[in-house]
Amino acid sequence: MAVNLDKEAYYRRIKRLYGNWKKGEDEFGKVDAIVVSVGVDEEIVYAKSTAIQTWLFGYELTDTIMVFCETKIIFLASKKKVDFLKQVAITKGNENANGVPPITLLTREKNESNKANFDKMIEAIRGSKEGKTVGIFSKDKFPGDYMKSWNDTITADGLAKVDISAVVAYTIAVKEDGELSLMKKAAAITSEVYSKFFKERVMEIVDADEKVRHSKLAESVEKAIEEKKYLGGADPSTVEMCYPPIIQSGGNYSLKFSVVSDKNHMHFGAITCAMGIRYKSYCSNLVRTLMVDPPQEMQDNYNFLLQVEEELLKHLKHGVKISEAYNAVQEYVKKEKSDLVAKLTKNLGFAMGIEFREGSLVLNSKNQYKLKKGMVLSVSLGFADLVNKDGKKDEQKKYALFIGDTIQINEEDAATILTPVKKKIKNVGIFLKNDDEDDEEEEGDDAEELLGKGARSAALLADRTRNEMTAEEKRRAHQKELANHLNEEAKRRLTERQGENQIQKARKSNVSYKNVSQMPRDKDIREMKIFIDKKYETVVMPVFGIATPFHIATIKNISMSVEGDYTYLRINFYVPGSSLGRQEGNIFPNPDATFVKEITYRASNLKAPGDPSVPSTNLQNAFRIIKEVQKRYKTREAEEKEKEGIVKQDSLVINLNRSNPKLKDLYIRPNIAQKRMQGSLEAHTNGFRFTSVRGDKVDILYNNIKHAIFQPCDGEMIIVLHFHLKNAIMFGKRRHTDVQFYTEVGEITTDLGKHQHMHDRDDLYAEQMEREMRHKLKSAFKNFIEKVETLTKEELEFEVPFRDLGFQGAPYRSTCLLQPTSGSLVNTTEWPPFVVTLDEVELVHFERVQFHLKNFDVVIVYKDYNKKVTMINAVPVNSLDPIKEWLNSCDIKYTEGVQSLNWTKIMKTIVDDPEGFFEQGGWSFLDPEGEGDGAEEDSESEMEDETFNPSGDDDEEQEEEDSDEDYSSDTEDSNFSGEESEGSEEESGKDWDELEEEARKADRESQYVEDDTTTSSNKKRKSRPSAPSSAPSKKKRRS
Pairing of strands 705-711, 718-731: antiparallel
The H or E element spanning position 559 is strand 555-563
- Report how far residue 194's alpha carbon sits from residue 201's, in angstroms, rounded to the nearest whole number: 10
Residue 1035: closest CA among 934, 944, 971, 905: 944
Q: 3-state secondary structure string, 487-516? A: HHHHHHHHHHHCCCCCCCCCCCCCCCCCCH
Q: Quick one: CA torsion of 509, 511, 515, 521, rounded to 10 degrees?
A: -170
The whole-number pLDDT of residue 989 equals: 55
DSSP secondary structure code for residue 197 in this structure: I
- Report how far residue 145's alpha carbon sits from residue 155's, in angstroms, rounded to the nearest whole number: 15
Per residue in 789-844, pLDDT (tens digit) is: 888 877 888 999 999 899 999 999 899 999 999 899 999 999 899 999 999 999 99
- Report how far residue 700's alpha carbon sits from residue 512's, in angstroms, rounded to the nearest whole number: 40
Residue 201: closest CA among 220, 222, 223: 220
Residues constituting the chain: 1039
Bond from prior residue into 832 cis (ω within 30 degrees of 0): yes
The whole-number pLDDT of residue 794 equals: 78
The whole-number pLDDT of residue 912 equals: 87
Is residue 69 a contact partner of residue 127, using CB atoms and an 8 Å limit?
Answer: yes
The H or E element spanning position 75 is strand 73-77
- Report how far residue 49's alpha carbon sits from residue 58's, in angstroms, rounded to the nearest whole number: 13
Q: Read out DSSP for 918-951?
A: HHTTGGGGGSHHHHTHHHHHHHHHHHHHHH---S
Is residue 661 a contact partner of residue 787, using CB atoms and an 8 Å limit?
Answer: yes
Provide the 3-class DSSP secondary structure of residue 844.
Answer: strand
The H or E element spanning position 997 is helix 992-1020
End-to-end CA distance of the chain: 105
Per residue in 259-292, pLDDT (tens digit) is: 999 999 999 999 999 999 999 999 999 999 999 9
What are the b/e assignments for 656-681, b being 16+ CB within 10 Å? Answer: eeeebbebeebbbbeebeeeeeebeb
Residue 416: closest CA among 322, 347, 320, 313: 313
Pairing of strands 277-279, 358-362: unpaired
Rounded to the nearest angstrom, the gap between the alpha carbon of residue 604 and the centroid of all alpha carbons in its chain is 71
Is residue 719 a contact partner of residue 781, using CB atoms and an 8 Å limit?
Answer: yes
Which distant-in-sequence residues (6+ apart) come within 8 Å of 180 by Cβ? 374, 376, 408
Is residue 834 a contact partner of residue 812, using CB atoms and an 8 Å limit?
Answer: yes
Helices (H), 349-412: 394-397
User: Bridge partners of 549?
Assistant: 540
Q: Which residues of the chain have pLDDT under 70?
A: 1-2, 92-97, 111-113, 433-470, 497-509, 578-589, 642-647, 746-761, 928-991, 1005-1039
The whole-number pLDDT of residue 1006 equals: 64
Helices (H) and strands (E) counted in the chain, each on its own, are: 27, 39
- Report how far residue 792's alpha carbon sits from residue 701's, in angstroms, rounded to the nearest whole number: 11
Q: How buried is residue 745: exposed, middle or buried, by Cβ count under 10 Å (0-12/13-18/19+)?
A: buried
Angle at 857 between CA 853 and CA 863, to 5 degrees: 155
| Residue type for position 744 | E
- Report how far residue 402's alpha carbon sits from residue 559's, in angstroms, rounded to the nearest whole number: 81
Phi, psi of 633 (to 5 degrees): -65, -45
The H or E element spanning position 74 is strand 73-77
- Report how far residue 199's alpha carbon sits from residue 273's, in angstroms, rounded to the nearest whole number: 10
User: Bridge partners of 809?
Assistant: 816
The whole-number pLDDT of residue 756 equals: 55
Residue 480: closest CA among 100, 894, 768: 894
CA atoms within 13 A on the CB side of 767: 7
DSSP secondary structure code for residue 99 in this structure: T
The H or E element spanning position 299 is helix 296-315
Is residue 31 a contact partner of residue 164, using CB atoms and an 8 Å limit?
Answer: yes
User: Bridge partners of 376?
Assistant: 408
- Report how far residue 190's alpha carbon sits from residue 288's, in angstroms, rounded to the nearest whole number: 12
Is residue 484 a contact partner of residue 923, using CB atoms and an 8 Å limit?
Answer: no
- The model carries a pTM of 0.57
